[in-house]
Amino acid sequence: MTFRIHPAIGIARVGNSLEYYIGPETMAGMPQEGTDLNGGLPIRPDTDGETITSADVRDGAGALKRQAARFTVFEYDDAPLGSFPSGDGTPVGIGTVLSDGRTVTDIIWTVHLANKKANCWLEVDEEGIASYTGGGLPPLRNPGFGGADDPSAPERLAKLVIDAGPRTVQGTGASVEFDTATPASAYVGGAVTELPDYPKQFPDTATFPDLVCPSGEAITTLGGLRTDSKGRLEVLGGHGLACGFGANALPLMHDVNNDGWLDDTSDGPVTAVLVLDDGSEVPLEGSAWAVATDPGYAPQTLNIVSLWDDIYNTWIEHFDVNPGIYANGAYLPDYQPDFYEDIFPVFRAASLQMWNTNLPDSAIAAHDSIDNITPEDDPGNRLYVKALIRNPNPDPDGSNDFATGSPLMPLSLGDAGKAFLTLSTSQYFFVMQWFDKKFTATPPVPLGPGERLDKVVLANCLGGRFSPGIDLTFIVRDTELYNSDWTNPAIGPFRIAMAPLDYGSAQAGTPFLGVGYTPTRPGQAGVEPGDICKFMAIPWHTDYNSCATHLPEPNPGGDVNSRKDPHVFEGINTTLFWSWPAQRPVAVYTFDDLAANGGALPRQKFSVRGEGTKAQPSPAGPGPFPAQNVGRFQDRENILLNWQKIGVVMQGPAIEGYDPSYPTNYYLEVASLFEDDADPVIPWPNTISDNPSG
């Protein structure tokens, strides 16, 4: 027998409350048996399947609760893995009798969280991973800090890296914090060991005399660990804080790359040791990874391309994880994807976009109809839908659909040189197989319970548009990120390649973590704590604020800012599109307005609204184009103080007081703390020269 931790990558989310709930462990938006909920709602701690309602989003003081990532050990046999999924796996908790008759008496968990954003390279929107290929590197954030442009310079590692160090927790009902006061600890040499000399690094006024924390709170923790009644691990993130330092701190000048800033998102490895009733201890060979990122403001809304779709696509095409789908550089024409696992989520996700965007009535009707597609759908409807899907593959003549907007779908923005979003190549293949009636509604090998956790956690996250994204970014397309030894039953697929961490060598005053993982570099030591989130926006708040609607980039008609006449747009695409409509709601229907409207859909409001969000002329543009500035704070500093006021989009039956006579498939905003509208929502299409404010 052997053991693996699932999910392979767990997602926690920051919040300004001490309270928390467990992250989604069902696939967002997909039907759940015996409930009106379409799935994906987080669950309450210490329950199995009791869903969060609107009453659970905020604590008694109105603070936004954090989302914890829960990790579970699963037992497997020793047979090498040949394909994903295997369909196997049995969950293991304290008290579980294993297949060899021994009983688990304890589980020792070690997690190490860190944040390296300020010592990373710039995120370059149009290039993504391409900026690292061929030995290339983008410019550094905080250039010249400490007199060095080398990320390995000691002062940069000591001051620009937030490192909480490792923490160990075991038993049931246990807790520990990743804060400045709690000693670091790890399982070292067969025992849980405190590490008094571990060099924990947090920003304070001794490190940065000019430290500015807009909320009034300094970053003193990256979160904490809990164990439940079964000994399963719960990883909590930080409290959504950001602090600035130095002359570059204010004003915030960029949506993604802000020098002189730090935030309390984080990531790091999760390892475990089983303690058995015969006195033996079994360290698990493989690790999982925890990532603490932005809040989940729409936990039931599927992304058309999810993080799972991007990661699975990488593993299909580069790791031979399912040779029945893809072999010798090509998708196999006889493969039959599963309608409910591989195909329908694309249609359901397309339908759900209507609840977070400002679509016109005609488009809402079309999106609603997509949700009614069935495996047996008529050929005419299939052909109609097929003609609307943007092809991710270039034609032999070099032409492509990447630069084509409406009517091709998905109607949101792409990345890495694609003006518009496309399905991943594997998603596109699956959907085309359905069009050709090559599919099944009964998968030959269903996902095992641990494998399903791997999938559903990532299926609830953003993929497709990594500029840089919300949860993870373009590095998920890099084969060097992963442990390729996936056929080893103690490792399995989708694992981050963890760097060896010799905690016995930790010395006070000397940074423990180095530069760590660099994309596309073969043969490197592996991924350190903080290496996953470091490619994301700094602070995350400014990117979230900005990613409402934008022009396509690259713009199919050319560069807007290079026009000779700044007021003439001939040949330029001036229509605005959504960046992350599932993960970052732009326009929403509120439950309060629905109830006041007798159950009829009311007018929409911007998710980010109220004082400070009224559209102003663009400081970077040639004239007053308010439409490209609506639905966000005009001064970036304001999002640092107001992010926790944003409401959460939930399905009607999960909303306290929802009238059972109302439709069950409405997704409405609840728990917003914004009081005022600033700009009215007008239906798409909008152009940069629209003026909804009059």
Report if residue 26 sits inside a domain.
Answer: yes
Residues 6+ positions from 390 with CB-CB distance below 8 Å: 401, 402, 404, 408, 409, 410, 420, 421, 422, 423
Report if residue 591 sits inside a domain.
Answer: no
- The pair of three-digit structure tokens given for residue 73, joined into one six-digit string: 């050990």
Q: Is 536 exposed, middle or buried (0-12, 13-18, 19+ CB in 10 A)?
A: buried
State residue 595 phi and psi, 5-degree precision: -65, -40
Q: What pLDDT is attached to residue 621?
A: 52
- The pair of three-digit structure tokens given for residue 501, joined into one six-digit string: 């961490």
Query: Whats the size of the chain, residue-wise?
Result: 694
| Ordered DSSP codes for 283-297 | E-SS-EEEEEES--S
Q: What pLDDT is attached to residue 693?
A: 47
631-669 residue pLDDT tens: 999 999 999 999 999 999 999 999 999 999 999 999 999
Q: How far apart are CA 361 and CA 57, in angstroms?
A: 30
| Ordered DSSP codes for 121-152 | BPP-TTTGGGGGGGG--PPBSSTTGGG---TT
Q: What pLDDT is attached to residue 405?
A: 85
Cα 491 to the center of its chain, rounded Å: 23
Q: How far apart are CA 127 and CA 467, in angstroms?
A: 9
- Do the strands 549-550 and 577-578 form a parallel or antiparallel pair, or are they unpaired? antiparallel
For residue 36, which amino acid is it?
A: D
Neighbours of 599 (CB within 10 A): 15
Q: What pLDDT is attached to residue 384?
A: 76
Q: How far apart are CA 301 and CA 120, in angstroms?
A: 31
Q: What pLDDT is attached to residue 694?
A: 42
Q: What pLDDT is attached to residue 689?
A: 73
| Ordered DSSP codes for 480-546 | GGB---TTSTTT-SS-B-BPP--GGG--TTS----S---TT-TT---BPTTTTGGGS-BSHHHHHHH
For residue 181, which amino acid is it?
A: A
For residue 83, which amino acid is it?
A: S
Name the maximum alpha-carbon separation found in the chain.
80
Whether 19 and 337 have beta carbons less than 8 Å apart is answered as no
Q: What is the pTM of this model?
A: 0.96
Inter-CA distances, 40 with 31, 62, 550, 672, Å: 9, 23, 28, 20
Residue of 385, 388, 71, 367 lying closest to 228 (CA atoms) = 71
Q: What pLDDT is attached to residue 444?
A: 82
Q: What pLDDT is attached to residue 379?
A: 65
Q: How many domains does the chain have?
A: 1
Q: What pLDDT is attached to residue 442?
A: 87
Residue 160 belongs to what domain range? Answer: 2-293+485-521
Residue of 109, 41, 495, 80 lying closest to 274 (CA atoms) = 109
Q: What pLDDT is attached to residue 368?
A: 86
Report if residue 464 sits inside a domain.
Answer: no
List the chain residues with pLDDT less than 50: 693-694
